[in-house]
Structure 1
Amino acid sequence: MTKLCVFDFDSTLMDGETINEISAACGQKAAVSAITERAMAGELDFFEALTARVELLVGIPYPQVLSICHQLPLMPGAMETVRTLKQLGYKVVVFSGGFRQATAYFGEKLGVDAEFANILHHKDGFLTGKVGGEMMFNDSKGKMLQRLQQLLGISPEQTIAVGDGANDASMFPFAAKKVAFCAREILQKQANVVIQEKDLRLLLDYL
Protein backbone atom coordinates (compact mmCIF):
# COMPACT_ATOMS: atom_id res chain seq x y z
CA MET A 1 0.00 0.00 0.00
CA THR A 2 1.30 3.46 -0.93
CA LYS A 3 2.14 5.73 1.99
CA LEU A 4 2.49 9.50 2.06
CA CYS A 5 4.67 11.91 4.05
CA VAL A 6 4.05 15.63 3.62
CA PHE A 7 6.64 18.13 4.84
CA ASP A 8 6.39 21.84 5.37
CA PHE A 9 9.46 23.56 3.87
CA ASP A 10 10.43 26.64 5.89
CA SER A 11 11.84 25.79 9.35
CA THR A 12 11.10 22.09 8.66
CA LEU A 13 13.06 20.86 5.64
CA MET A 14 14.95 24.14 5.53
CA ASP A 15 16.58 25.64 8.63
CA GLY A 16 15.01 29.09 8.57
CA GLU A 17 12.35 31.11 6.73
CA THR A 18 12.89 31.84 3.03
CA ILE A 19 11.02 35.14 3.10
CA ASN A 20 13.09 36.39 6.03
CA GLU A 21 16.30 35.68 4.11
CA ILE A 22 15.03 37.40 0.95
CA SER A 23 13.90 40.45 2.92
CA ALA A 24 17.45 41.10 4.09
CA ALA A 25 18.25 42.09 0.50
CA CYS A 26 16.07 45.21 0.82
CA GLY A 27 16.71 46.04 4.47
CA GLN A 28 13.32 44.76 5.64
CA LYS A 29 14.38 41.63 7.54
CA ALA A 30 13.32 42.87 10.98
CA ALA A 31 9.87 43.93 9.79
CA VAL A 32 9.27 40.77 7.77
CA SER A 33 10.59 38.46 10.50
CA ALA A 34 8.24 40.01 13.05
CA ILE A 35 5.22 39.35 10.82
CA THR A 36 6.44 35.83 10.05
CA GLU A 37 6.70 34.96 13.74
CA ARG A 38 3.19 36.22 14.48
CA ALA A 39 1.75 34.34 11.50
CA MET A 40 3.46 31.07 12.47
CA ALA A 41 2.20 31.48 16.04
CA GLY A 42 -1.36 31.79 14.72
CA GLU A 43 -1.74 35.42 15.75
CA LEU A 44 -2.32 36.70 12.20
CA ASP A 45 -4.35 35.48 9.22
CA PHE A 46 -1.86 33.70 6.97
CA PHE A 47 -3.05 35.29 3.71
CA GLU A 48 -2.90 38.80 5.13
CA ALA A 49 0.52 38.17 6.67
CA LEU A 50 1.87 36.68 3.45
CA THR A 51 0.72 39.51 1.21
CA ALA A 52 1.91 42.17 3.68
CA ARG A 53 5.38 40.62 3.82
CA VAL A 54 5.70 40.16 0.06
CA GLU A 55 4.77 43.82 -0.50
CA LEU A 56 7.90 44.73 1.45
CA LEU A 57 10.05 42.82 -1.08
CA VAL A 58 9.19 45.05 -4.04
CA GLY A 59 12.18 46.07 -6.16
CA ILE A 60 14.59 43.29 -5.22
CA PRO A 61 16.42 42.04 -8.35
CA TYR A 62 15.02 38.65 -9.34
CA PRO A 63 18.44 37.02 -9.99
CA GLN A 64 19.38 37.95 -6.43
CA VAL A 65 16.19 36.29 -5.16
CA LEU A 66 17.04 33.08 -6.99
CA SER A 67 20.58 33.14 -5.63
CA ILE A 68 19.28 33.49 -2.07
CA CYS A 69 16.70 30.73 -2.58
CA HIS A 70 19.30 28.32 -3.91
CA GLN A 71 21.68 28.84 -0.98
CA LEU A 72 19.28 28.21 1.91
CA PRO A 73 20.52 25.84 4.64
CA LEU A 74 18.79 22.47 4.79
CA MET A 75 17.67 21.16 8.16
CA PRO A 76 20.11 18.59 9.60
CA GLY A 77 19.06 15.12 8.50
CA ALA A 78 16.74 16.32 5.71
CA MET A 79 18.49 14.50 2.90
CA GLU A 80 18.82 11.22 4.80
CA THR A 81 15.25 11.31 6.06
CA VAL A 82 13.71 11.85 2.62
CA ARG A 83 15.90 9.12 1.17
CA THR A 84 14.90 6.65 3.91
CA LEU A 85 11.19 7.43 3.60
CA LYS A 86 11.31 6.77 -0.13
CA GLN A 87 13.13 3.48 0.49
CA LEU A 88 10.29 2.55 2.86
CA GLY A 89 7.69 3.13 0.14
CA TYR A 90 6.52 6.62 1.01
CA LYS A 91 5.59 9.28 -1.49
CA VAL A 92 7.33 12.41 -0.15
CA VAL A 93 5.70 15.76 -0.91
CA VAL A 94 6.43 19.35 0.14
CA PHE A 95 3.66 21.84 0.95
CA SER A 96 4.97 25.38 1.52
CA GLY A 97 3.37 28.72 2.25
CA GLY A 98 6.67 30.03 0.92
CA PHE A 99 7.87 30.08 -2.66
CA ARG A 100 8.52 27.70 -5.55
CA GLN A 101 11.68 29.66 -6.30
CA ALA A 102 13.08 27.73 -3.32
CA THR A 103 10.97 24.55 -3.15
CA ALA A 104 11.47 23.59 -6.81
CA TYR A 105 15.24 23.80 -6.44
CA PHE A 106 15.43 21.90 -3.15
CA GLY A 107 12.66 19.49 -4.11
CA GLU A 108 14.87 18.26 -6.94
CA LYS A 109 17.94 18.23 -4.70
CA LEU A 110 16.14 16.21 -2.01
CA GLY A 111 14.44 13.91 -4.49
CA VAL A 112 10.87 14.52 -3.33
CA ASP A 113 7.96 13.36 -5.48
CA ALA A 114 6.23 16.75 -5.74
CA GLU A 115 6.20 20.21 -4.20
CA PHE A 116 3.42 22.78 -3.93
CA ALA A 117 4.07 26.41 -3.01
CA ASN A 118 3.40 30.02 -3.93
CA ILE A 119 5.20 32.06 -6.58
CA LEU A 120 6.83 35.46 -6.19
CA HIS A 121 5.77 37.62 -9.13
CA HIS A 122 8.52 39.43 -10.98
CA LYS A 123 8.59 41.77 -13.96
CA ASP A 124 11.48 43.30 -15.91
CA GLY A 125 13.93 41.55 -13.59
CA PHE A 126 12.57 42.79 -10.25
CA LEU A 127 10.04 41.61 -7.66
CA THR A 128 6.72 43.40 -7.98
CA GLY A 129 5.55 42.86 -4.41
CA LYS A 130 2.83 40.45 -5.61
CA VAL A 131 2.41 36.75 -4.90
CA GLY A 132 0.08 34.00 -6.08
CA GLY A 133 -0.25 30.26 -5.75
CA GLU A 134 -1.91 27.28 -4.14
CA MET A 135 -0.72 27.73 -0.54
CA MET A 136 -2.00 31.23 0.25
CA PHE A 137 -4.46 30.57 3.07
CA ASN A 138 -4.62 29.11 6.58
CA ASP A 139 -6.36 25.95 5.34
CA SER A 140 -4.56 25.52 1.99
CA LYS A 141 -2.35 22.66 3.12
CA GLY A 142 -5.22 20.63 4.55
CA LYS A 143 -7.29 21.03 1.40
CA MET A 144 -4.36 20.11 -0.84
CA LEU A 145 -3.61 17.07 1.32
CA GLN A 146 -7.19 15.82 0.89
CA ARG A 147 -6.96 16.26 -2.89
CA LEU A 148 -3.64 14.44 -3.01
CA GLN A 149 -4.93 11.54 -0.92
CA GLN A 150 -7.95 11.21 -3.20
CA LEU A 151 -5.76 11.30 -6.31
CA LEU A 152 -3.29 8.70 -5.00
CA GLY A 153 -5.79 6.54 -3.12
CA ILE A 154 -3.99 7.06 0.19
CA SER A 155 -5.85 7.06 3.51
CA PRO A 156 -5.17 9.28 6.53
CA GLU A 157 -3.96 6.13 8.31
CA GLN A 158 -1.10 5.92 5.78
CA THR A 159 -0.24 9.63 6.00
CA ILE A 160 2.35 11.59 7.98
CA ALA A 161 2.23 15.40 8.15
CA VAL A 162 5.27 17.33 9.43
CA GLY A 163 5.36 21.04 10.16
CA ASP A 164 6.24 23.82 12.58
CA GLY A 165 3.67 26.60 12.31
CA ALA A 166 -0.01 27.43 12.63
CA ASN A 167 -0.68 27.03 8.89
CA ASP A 168 0.43 23.39 9.12
CA ALA A 169 -2.40 22.53 11.53
CA SER A 170 -4.93 22.14 8.71
CA MET A 171 -3.07 18.97 7.61
CA PHE A 172 -3.36 17.24 10.96
CA PRO A 173 -7.00 16.04 10.75
CA PHE A 174 -6.03 14.04 7.64
CA ALA A 175 -2.85 12.40 8.96
CA ALA A 176 -2.45 9.57 11.46
CA LYS A 177 0.96 10.90 12.47
CA LYS A 178 0.77 14.62 13.21
CA VAL A 179 4.36 15.75 13.73
CA ALA A 180 5.27 19.08 15.32
CA PHE A 181 8.94 19.64 14.44
CA CYS A 182 10.67 22.33 16.53
CA ALA A 183 7.22 23.86 16.39
CA ARG A 184 5.26 26.73 17.85
CA GLU A 185 3.09 25.89 20.84
CA ILE A 186 -0.13 26.21 18.82
CA LEU A 187 0.96 23.27 16.64
CA GLN A 188 2.45 21.17 19.43
CA LYS A 189 -0.95 21.12 21.15
CA GLN A 190 -2.49 19.45 18.09
CA ALA A 191 0.32 16.97 17.41
CA ASN A 192 0.73 13.36 18.49
CA VAL A 193 4.48 13.41 17.76
CA VAL A 194 6.61 16.30 19.07
CA ILE A 195 10.28 16.61 18.08
CA GLN A 196 12.19 19.39 19.82
CA GLU A 197 15.67 18.85 18.36
CA LYS A 198 16.79 20.14 14.96
CA ASP A 199 17.40 16.72 13.43
CA LEU A 200 14.85 15.34 10.99
CA ARG A 201 16.27 11.84 11.35
CA LEU A 202 14.46 11.69 14.71
CA LEU A 203 11.22 11.37 12.70
CA LEU A 204 12.34 7.93 11.58
CA ASP A 205 12.10 6.67 15.18
CA TYR A 206 8.31 7.05 14.99
CA LEU A 207 7.71 5.04 11.81
Structure 2
Amino acid sequence: MSSALLIDEPGAPRLFRDGAPGLVVTDVDSTLICQEVIEELAEAAGTRRQVAQITARAMNGELDFEQSLRQRVATLKGVRDSVFARVLTAITPTRGARELIEAAHRSGARFAVVSGGFEEVVAPLAASLSIDFYAANRLEVRDHVLTGRVLGRIVTADVKVECLRSWASSLGLPLERTAAIGDGANDVPMLRQAGVGIAFCAKPRVRERVGIQLNVPDLSRAIAPLGLSGDGQAPR
Protein backbone atom coordinates (compact mmCIF):
# COMPACT_ATOMS: atom_id res chain seq x y z
CA MET A 1 0.00 0.00 0.00
CA SER A 2 1.85 3.07 -1.24
CA SER A 3 -0.02 5.50 0.99
CA ALA A 4 -2.36 5.04 3.91
CA LEU A 5 -5.02 7.13 5.58
CA LEU A 6 -3.98 7.41 9.22
CA ILE A 7 -6.64 8.06 11.84
CA ASP A 8 -4.22 8.23 14.76
CA GLU A 9 -4.85 11.83 15.79
CA PRO A 10 -7.92 13.93 16.70
CA GLY A 11 -9.38 15.60 13.64
CA ALA A 12 -9.02 12.56 11.39
CA PRO A 13 -11.52 12.59 8.51
CA ARG A 14 -14.87 10.82 8.68
CA LEU A 15 -14.73 7.38 7.08
CA PHE A 16 -18.41 7.15 6.10
CA ARG A 17 -19.86 9.77 3.80
CA ASP A 18 -22.96 10.05 5.94
CA GLY A 19 -24.11 8.53 9.18
CA ALA A 20 -22.22 5.72 10.90
CA PRO A 21 -21.90 1.96 10.62
CA GLY A 22 -24.76 -0.21 11.80
CA LEU A 23 -22.32 -2.99 12.67
CA VAL A 24 -18.76 -2.84 14.01
CA VAL A 25 -16.75 -6.08 13.98
CA THR A 26 -13.33 -6.48 15.54
CA ASP A 27 -10.72 -9.16 15.92
CA VAL A 28 -10.03 -10.11 19.56
CA ASP A 29 -6.39 -11.00 20.25
CA SER A 30 -4.08 -7.96 20.03
CA THR A 31 -7.04 -5.87 18.87
CA LEU A 32 -9.92 -5.84 21.35
CA ILE A 33 -7.61 -7.18 24.06
CA CYS A 34 -3.90 -6.69 24.66
CA GLN A 35 -3.06 -10.39 24.89
CA GLU A 36 -2.82 -13.35 22.52
CA VAL A 37 -4.99 -15.85 24.39
CA ILE A 38 -3.27 -18.91 22.98
CA GLU A 39 0.01 -17.65 24.38
CA GLU A 40 -1.60 -17.25 27.80
CA LEU A 41 -2.87 -20.83 27.58
CA ALA A 42 0.53 -22.02 26.43
CA GLU A 43 2.08 -20.55 29.57
CA ALA A 44 0.39 -23.35 31.51
CA ALA A 45 1.82 -25.93 29.09
CA GLY A 46 5.34 -24.51 29.20
CA THR A 47 5.23 -23.83 25.46
CA ARG A 48 4.69 -20.07 25.41
CA ARG A 49 7.88 -19.15 23.57
CA GLN A 50 7.30 -21.76 20.88
CA VAL A 51 3.66 -20.73 20.44
CA ALA A 52 4.48 -17.00 20.36
CA GLN A 53 6.96 -17.54 17.53
CA ILE A 54 4.38 -19.42 15.47
CA THR A 55 1.69 -16.83 16.22
CA ALA A 56 3.89 -13.95 15.06
CA ARG A 57 4.63 -15.68 11.76
CA ALA A 58 0.96 -16.59 11.20
CA MET A 59 -0.29 -13.06 11.91
CA ASN A 60 2.27 -11.64 9.49
CA GLY A 61 0.97 -13.97 6.79
CA GLU A 62 4.04 -16.22 6.67
CA LEU A 63 2.16 -19.39 7.69
CA ASP A 64 -1.22 -20.90 6.83
CA PHE A 65 -3.49 -19.89 9.71
CA GLU A 66 -5.42 -23.15 10.10
CA GLN A 67 -2.29 -25.27 10.01
CA SER A 68 -0.50 -22.99 12.45
CA LEU A 69 -3.47 -23.00 14.83
CA ARG A 70 -3.60 -26.78 14.97
CA GLN A 71 0.15 -26.83 15.54
CA ARG A 72 -0.12 -24.39 18.44
CA VAL A 73 -3.14 -26.09 19.99
CA ALA A 74 -1.34 -29.44 19.92
CA THR A 75 1.15 -28.02 22.44
CA LEU A 76 -1.72 -27.54 24.94
CA LYS A 77 -2.38 -31.27 25.31
CA GLY A 78 -2.61 -32.27 28.94
CA VAL A 79 -3.45 -28.82 30.36
CA ARG A 80 -6.43 -28.84 32.74
CA ASP A 81 -9.46 -26.78 31.73
CA SER A 82 -9.17 -24.69 34.91
CA VAL A 83 -6.67 -22.73 32.84
CA PHE A 84 -9.55 -20.84 31.19
CA ALA A 85 -10.57 -19.12 34.43
CA ARG A 86 -6.96 -18.15 35.13
CA VAL A 87 -6.50 -16.72 31.66
CA LEU A 88 -9.72 -14.70 31.92
CA THR A 89 -8.38 -12.93 34.99
CA ALA A 90 -5.28 -11.94 33.02
CA ILE A 91 -7.16 -10.49 30.04
CA THR A 92 -6.88 -6.73 29.61
CA PRO A 93 -9.15 -4.89 27.15
CA THR A 94 -7.19 -2.64 24.82
CA ARG A 95 -7.28 1.03 25.73
CA GLY A 96 -10.45 2.55 24.34
CA ALA A 97 -12.17 -0.81 23.71
CA ARG A 98 -14.99 -0.23 26.20
CA GLU A 99 -15.46 3.31 24.90
CA LEU A 100 -15.71 2.08 21.30
CA ILE A 101 -18.30 -0.56 22.22
CA GLU A 102 -20.34 1.95 24.23
CA ALA A 103 -20.18 4.55 21.43
CA ALA A 104 -21.39 1.96 18.90
CA HIS A 105 -24.34 1.05 21.10
CA ARG A 106 -25.22 4.69 21.84
CA SER A 107 -25.23 5.32 18.09
CA GLY A 108 -27.65 2.45 17.50
CA ALA A 109 -25.06 0.04 16.07
CA ARG A 110 -24.32 -3.56 17.02
CA PHE A 111 -20.87 -4.72 18.06
CA ALA A 112 -19.39 -8.11 17.22
CA VAL A 113 -16.11 -9.95 17.59
CA VAL A 114 -14.69 -12.72 15.44
CA SER A 115 -11.67 -14.53 16.73
CA GLY A 116 -9.10 -17.10 15.77
CA GLY A 117 -8.93 -17.64 19.53
CA PHE A 118 -11.20 -19.72 21.68
CA GLU A 119 -14.87 -19.63 22.66
CA GLU A 120 -14.01 -20.72 26.20
CA VAL A 121 -12.46 -17.28 26.73
CA VAL A 122 -14.23 -15.19 24.09
CA ALA A 123 -17.79 -16.03 25.25
CA PRO A 124 -17.39 -14.76 28.84
CA LEU A 125 -15.34 -11.81 27.58
CA ALA A 126 -18.13 -10.88 25.15
CA ALA A 127 -20.72 -11.11 27.93
CA SER A 128 -18.67 -8.89 30.22
CA LEU A 129 -18.28 -6.21 27.52
CA SER A 130 -21.92 -6.33 26.29
CA ILE A 131 -20.87 -7.54 22.84
CA ASP A 132 -23.80 -8.55 20.63
CA PHE A 133 -22.31 -11.33 18.49
CA TYR A 134 -19.17 -13.46 18.63
CA ALA A 135 -17.50 -16.32 16.79
CA ALA A 136 -14.43 -18.26 17.90
CA ASN A 137 -12.84 -21.70 17.85
CA ARG A 138 -13.56 -24.41 20.41
CA LEU A 139 -11.00 -26.58 22.15
CA GLU A 140 -11.67 -30.25 22.75
CA VAL A 141 -11.73 -31.14 26.46
CA ARG A 142 -12.06 -34.63 27.92
CA ASP A 143 -12.26 -35.31 31.65
CA HIS A 144 -11.36 -31.65 32.29
CA VAL A 145 -8.14 -31.94 30.28
CA LEU A 146 -7.33 -30.33 26.90
CA THR A 147 -6.68 -32.93 24.21
CA GLY A 148 -4.63 -30.68 21.96
CA ARG A 149 -7.32 -30.64 19.28
CA VAL A 150 -9.88 -28.13 17.99
CA LEU A 151 -13.58 -28.98 17.61
CA GLY A 152 -15.59 -28.11 14.52
CA ARG A 153 -14.77 -25.40 12.02
CA ILE A 154 -11.67 -23.25 12.31
CA VAL A 155 -12.25 -19.50 12.24
CA THR A 156 -10.09 -18.76 9.22
CA ALA A 157 -9.93 -15.56 7.18
CA ASP A 158 -12.79 -16.86 5.00
CA VAL A 159 -14.93 -17.64 8.05
CA LYS A 160 -14.35 -14.13 9.35
CA VAL A 161 -15.77 -12.77 6.09
CA GLU A 162 -18.73 -15.18 6.35
CA CYS A 163 -19.48 -13.95 9.87
CA LEU A 164 -19.34 -10.31 8.79
CA ARG A 165 -21.74 -11.02 5.94
CA SER A 166 -24.08 -13.15 8.07
CA TRP A 167 -24.35 -10.65 10.91
CA ALA A 168 -24.90 -7.76 8.50
CA SER A 169 -27.60 -9.73 6.70
CA SER A 170 -29.34 -10.59 9.98
CA LEU A 171 -29.50 -6.86 10.73
CA GLY A 172 -30.70 -5.94 7.24
CA LEU A 173 -27.50 -3.99 6.58
CA PRO A 174 -25.56 -3.73 3.33
CA LEU A 175 -21.83 -4.35 3.75
CA GLU A 176 -21.29 -0.67 2.98
CA ARG A 177 -22.72 0.11 6.43
CA THR A 178 -20.26 -2.11 8.30
CA ALA A 179 -16.85 -1.45 9.83
CA ALA A 180 -14.15 -3.99 10.69
CA ILE A 181 -10.98 -3.63 12.75
CA GLY A 182 -8.10 -6.12 13.00
CA ASP A 183 -4.36 -6.56 13.17
CA GLY A 184 -3.41 -9.86 11.51
CA ALA A 185 -3.10 -11.31 8.03
CA ASN A 186 -6.21 -13.44 8.62
CA ASP A 187 -8.19 -10.21 9.15
CA VAL A 188 -7.31 -8.67 5.78
CA PRO A 189 -10.16 -10.20 3.71
CA MET A 190 -12.69 -9.08 6.34
CA LEU A 191 -11.20 -5.59 6.41
CA ARG A 192 -11.50 -5.40 2.64
CA GLN A 193 -15.09 -6.70 2.57
CA ALA A 194 -16.39 -4.25 5.17
CA GLY A 195 -17.58 -0.81 4.20
CA VAL A 196 -14.65 0.53 6.21
CA GLY A 197 -11.72 -1.67 7.25
CA ILE A 198 -9.15 -0.43 9.74
CA ALA A 199 -5.75 -2.03 10.33
CA PHE A 200 -5.08 -1.61 14.06
CA CYS A 201 -1.44 -1.53 15.19
CA ALA A 202 -1.09 -4.13 12.48
CA LYS A 203 1.66 -6.44 11.35
CA PRO A 204 3.88 -5.04 8.53
CA ARG A 205 2.35 -7.15 5.77
CA VAL A 206 -1.13 -6.11 6.88
CA ARG A 207 -0.24 -2.42 6.76
CA GLU A 208 0.95 -2.96 3.19
CA ARG A 209 -2.51 -4.24 2.19
CA VAL A 210 -4.97 -2.09 4.15
CA GLY A 211 -5.39 1.57 3.33
CA ILE A 212 -6.92 2.86 6.58
CA GLN A 213 -4.74 2.48 9.65
CA LEU A 214 -4.83 3.24 13.35
CA ASN A 215 -1.29 2.83 14.64
CA VAL A 216 -1.83 4.16 18.16
CA PRO A 217 -2.98 1.44 20.64
CA ASP A 218 -6.20 3.24 21.56
CA LEU A 219 -9.46 2.06 19.98
CA SER A 220 -11.31 5.18 21.09
CA ARG A 221 -9.40 7.00 18.31
CA ALA A 222 -11.72 5.21 15.86
CA ILE A 223 -14.94 6.57 17.39
CA ALA A 224 -15.06 9.97 15.66
CA PRO A 225 -13.75 8.80 12.25
CA LEU A 226 -16.44 6.10 12.23
CA GLY A 227 -19.11 8.70 12.96
CA LEU A 228 -20.04 7.11 16.28
CA SER A 229 -21.03 10.36 17.90
CA GLY A 230 -22.68 8.76 20.90
CA ASP A 231 -25.66 11.11 20.59
CA GLY A 232 -28.16 8.25 20.60
CA GLN A 233 -29.06 8.64 16.95
CA ALA A 234 -29.28 5.42 14.97
CA PRO A 235 -27.04 5.28 11.88
CA ARG A 236 -28.72 5.85 8.55
TM-score (norm 2): 0.83
* Contact kept in structure 1, 2:182 and 2:191, CA below 8 Å: no
Structure 2 residue ranges without an equivalent (≥5)? 1-18, 227-236
Paired-residue identity, %: 35
Report the structure, 1 or 2, having the larger helix content.
1
Tell me the residue number matched to 2:72.
53
- Once the two structures are superposed, the pairs formed by residues 9-88 of structure 1 within 5 Å of their partners are 9-88=28-107
TM-score (norm 1): 0.94
Whole-Å separation in 2 of the counterparts to 1:81 and 1:187: 22
**Offset of 1:21 from its aligned partner?**
0.8
Instruction: Tell me: higher relative CO, structure 1 or 2? Use CA pairs within 8 A at least 6 residues apart.
Output: 2
Q: Could you list the per-position Cα deviations for residues 28-55 of structure 1 after superposition, in whole angstroms to 9, with x for gaps in the alignment?
A: 0010000000100001111000000000
**Offset of 1:137 from its aligned partner?**
2.4
* Contact kept in structure 2, 1:66 and 1:101, CA below 8 Å: no
Whole-Å separation in 2 of the counterparts to 1:161 and 1:134: 21
**Offset of 1:172 from its aligned partner?**
2.2
Q: Could you list the per-position Cα deviations for residues 90-118 of structure 1 after superposition, in whole angstroms to 9, with x for gaps in the alignment?
A: 11000001001111111011111011100
Whole-Å separation in 2 of the counterparts to 1:174 and 1:12: 18
Q: Which has the larger radius of gyration?
A: 2
Structure 1 residue ranges without an equivalent (≥5)? none
Q: Could you list the per-position Cα deviations for residues 103-135 of structure 1 after superposition, in whole angstroms to 9, with x for gaps in the alignment?
A: 111101111101110011111111000112444
Task: Classify 1:58/1:134 alpha carbon distance in 2 versus 1 (closer, same or farther; 3 Å).
Answer: same
Whole-Å separation in 2 of the counterparts to 1:122 and 1:64: 12
Tell me the residue number matched to 1:109.
128
How many residue pairs get matched? Answer: 207
Does residue 1:175 correspond to 2:194, yes or no?
A: yes
Task: Classify 1:100/1:64 alpha carbon distance in 2 versus 1 (closer, same or farther; 3 Å).
Answer: same
Counterpart of 1:80, as a letter, is: E
**Offset of 1:86 from its aligned partner?**
0.8
* Contact kept in structure 1, 2:84 and 2:121, CA below 8 Å: no
* Contact kept in structure 2, 1:21 and 1:29, CA below 8 Å: yes
